[in-house]
Amino acid sequence: MDEILNVSKAARRIRKAVKHQERIVLFSDSDMDGISSILILEEAIEHIGGKVDHMAFSNRERDGYGMALSVLESFREYAPALLVLTDLGIGNREEIRQAREMGFDVIVIDHHEISGDLPPANIIVNPKQPKDPYVFKTLAACGLAMKVAERVLGSKATKSDKDCIVELAVLGTVADLMPLEQDNREIVERGLLALCSSSRAGILELRSRHNFCLDPMSTENLDYPISILGARDRGEDIPGGYYILRATTQQEAKNTILRLERARKTKDREVQKVATLLKERIGTSSPALIFEEVKVSDFVLLGSIANILVREYDVPVFLHKRKAGASVGSTRAPKSFHVVKAMAKCKDLLSAFGGHPGAAGFRVENKNIEKFRECLYSQCI
């Protein structure tokens, strides 16, 4: 089978950076797929004797979708360096152009839909890009990071080394609801076995609290660890799941898990409350599309609320949280509606957007909200 375009090229560039002691900066989305992706690359780099000089995660509520110019500016002190973007970046054309001008070599490892021209990165790993011969197009970003990391480690990688990678990849793949076929099926089969024999302190502590290795092993068993690892620490730029999976002792992992369990319970209550209010607002009507402003404590809750509404009404759902000057939004949709293509038809009204056919995010200036709503409704009539 053909290799995904640029996987080996990205691995060679990372190995070169380690060999010549270049500075390395990693930046990723803050969901489970992003956490898994950044950990896979960070640990592979460390395994061959390198180090990551700076690591950061996106904050969509503050910075919008992808890599904002303000985030790039915070990396300036590390230039020149190798900048690796994971689970984002495919839509950041201007930001990557400026990163190159700052002196960064840029690798993008992203699985999101491509809308418009590719960004001017040095290397792009995304099987959805033109001329990529790889047949399977729906790997999660962590699946792509895994393929790069395996080549970074090379032929000397042991079974233990590979298990440390795939136990992270299965978490991101399942959390991101990737179709469990072909490459993803292999990741799940290998990953479940790796998780259940893992010596990683964070995994051991999660297993001690909720045994997800019961026979028969299945992806449904991962609901608990994924719900904890993917929970966001409000006000924190580093996701709690990262700390759990990088913990050196079970007690260290336990402290973070307890904090995130409390946060999850609070989040679940707010999600159910807001979803109920929205259903009361919509009533018994049969909308072609749901487009609503929502008041929530944290932007990340919008996706969970939208999922509930999609299940209830079986129509595309666009929710946004209004902030000063602009609103940040999250969208979910049934399989019959492609949210990225829909937003692409309204792109002149948006500051940023991107994601998957059924789940994505956007940022829109408040002055354009009504026009954006009209543009979306026109596609559903």
- 287: Cβ contacts below 8 Å, ≥ 6 apart: 313, 315
The proportion of the chain whose per-residue pLDDT surpasses 90, expressed as a percent, equals 82
- 258: Cβ contacts below 8 Å, ≥ 6 apart: none
Query: What Cα–Cα distance (Å) separates residue 2 from each residue in 6, 60, 108, 131, 153?
Result: 11, 35, 20, 12, 20
**Is 90 exceeded by the pLDDT of residue 284?**
no
Task: Give residue 87's pLDDT.
Answer: 97
Tokens of 163: 């298990």
Q: Tell me: the pLDDT tens digits for 322-378?
A: 988 899 999 999 988 999 999 999 999 998 898 889 999 999 999 999 999 999 999
- 231: Cβ contacts below 8 Å, ≥ 6 apart: 240, 241, 260, 263, 264, 267
**Is 80 exceeded by the pLDDT of residue 152?**
yes
How many Cβ atoms sit within 10 Å of the Cβ of residue 135?
Answer: 10
| Residues 198, 167 contacting (CB under 8 angstroms) | yes
Mean pLDDT across 30-40: 96
Instruction: Domains for the chain: give ranges and CATH numbers.
Output: 7-198 (3.90.1640.30), 284-378 (3.10.310.30)
- 222: Cβ contacts below 8 Å, ≥ 6 apart: 170, 171, 174, 175, 195, 212
This prediction's pTM = 0.90
Alpha-carbon distance 13 to 15, whole Å?
5
Q: Tell me: the pLDDT tens digits for 87-121?
A: 999 999 999 999 999 999 999 999 999 988 999 99
Mean pLDDT, the chain, rounded, equals 93
Mean pLDDT across 217-232: 89
Strand partners, 84: 26, 107
pLDDT bin (cut points 50, 70, 90) of residue 237 is: confident
